[in-house]
Amino acid sequence: MDHLDDIEQAIVTTVRDFVDREVRPTVRELEHANTYPEKLIEQMKQLGIFGLAIPEPHGGLQVSTPCYAMVTEELARGWMSLAGAMGGHTVVAKLLLTFGTEEQKQRYLPRMATGELRATMALTEPGGGSDLRAMRTTARADGDYYVVNGTKTWITNARRAGLVALLCKTDSKAQPAHRGISILLMEKVPGFTVSKDLPKLGYKGVESCELSFDDCRVPSTALLGGAEGQGFPQMMRGLEIGRIQVAARATGVARAAFDDAFQYAQQRESFGKPIWKHQSVGNYLATMATKLTAARQLLLHAAHRYDGGQRADLEAGMAKLFCSETAMEIALDAVRVHGGYGYSTEFDVERYFRDAPLMIVGEGTNEIQQDVIVRQLVSRGGLGYPVRRFANPA
């Protein structure tokens, strides 16, 4: 199972069984009603899923990033919203492990490992989108506290998260601007409100919210790592695992769409034969399978790179870009294979088609991913493959 050890293989298999037994039989009703999946989340806690990025000394069962990606893929195969519920949680855990003070790790990680404390990150603002350096949320130092003001939007799990990694400006005059950005580990304090839930095309059940901060007083010990001005590089490192997770979610959705289309094409008959035998439908299935296989390999390549301790901006960006675009293409092709039934809410393919676009615009839009990719290519001098040099004809 893609070079996983026996324990990790067992973890993936356990999650796969959970999805088939508990998620797939109930997801259609929950998703259409936009009901928060409280029971399923509790079962995920019991399975230890919220602690898969946290090492044993802090109460978790840390697995390799390929294993984590495959667990995410299995969850998304059942319902992408369940995989989304653990995405920001994992990023915050990685931020704490990499940059947090010992006191911050001891305070949060053991409760995060069990899912007792769920975490999320707050980056996006109503007027900023993917341009994190243009943010307006500020944290002004006031003695042993910071006073926080601003607004964040599209924050997953905001109503149920007890910890928010808030990206904000602690020095509005710093040049360049990213040097004035920090991360505050915020718990619910006076002035911190969830101002509204955002209506969505897909990604139902799990809420996406707008957060408002009105003169929130946060102790200075909440500053991640205890150093101001490090928030931008810290979050860029955190977003590497975040983008790998989104790529895994996209791969899970693509896999579910392909599986449904593949099964339907063998059962549905037209003109006296299963529809997969019609070349147009067969071509769809062949192309879908090829894209899905390529996406999965790119995902695992990024996961292995991340575990190697090297910067994985390029690989995570490529995986997020390709896997999300592939999920959208396969979801649409699954609708085509189902014909009119693909447009019916009685079949799951319409949900895949509504869920897939989130991975294209979330965790940094794909246009941003392309910018990240080309900048990393230039920085690294290309892909690192042997290049034949041609003489200048002049």
d(CA 247, CA 2): 17
363 catalytic per annotation: yes
Query: For strand 163-169 and strand 119-122, is the pairing parallel, antiparallel, or unpaired?
Result: parallel
Q: Which long-range contacts (CB under 8 A, 24 or more apart) does 184-187 make?
A: 184/139, 184/146, 184/148, 184/218, 184/222, 184/223, 184/224, 185/96, 185/100, 185/104, 185/108, 185/222, 185/223, 185/224, 186/122, 186/148, 186/216, 186/218, 186/222, 187/162, 187/163
Distance of CA 50 to the CA centre of its chain: 14
136, 150 Cβ separation under 8 angstroms: yes
Virtual torsion, Cα 181, 183, 187, 188, nearest 10 deg: 20
Rounded to whole angstroms, the maximal C-alpha distance in the chain is 79
**Which residues, in sequence order, are bridge partners of residue 148?**
139, 216
**Which residues, in sequence order, are bridge partners of residue 186?**
164
User: DSSP states of 247-279 as a string?
Assistant: HHHHHHHHHHHHHHHHHHHHH-EETTEEGGGSH
185, 163 Cβ separation under 8 angstroms: yes
Helix ranges, 153-278 (H): 231-267
Catalytic residue among 74, 102, 363, 367: 363
Query: What letter does residue 1 receive in the DSSP assignment?
Result: -
Instruction: Tally Cβ neighbours within 10 Å of residue 289.
Output: 14
Q: How far is CA 266 from CA 206, 225, 242, 273, 340, in A?
A: 34, 56, 37, 9, 17
d(CA 115, CA 339): 41
Catalytic residues: 363
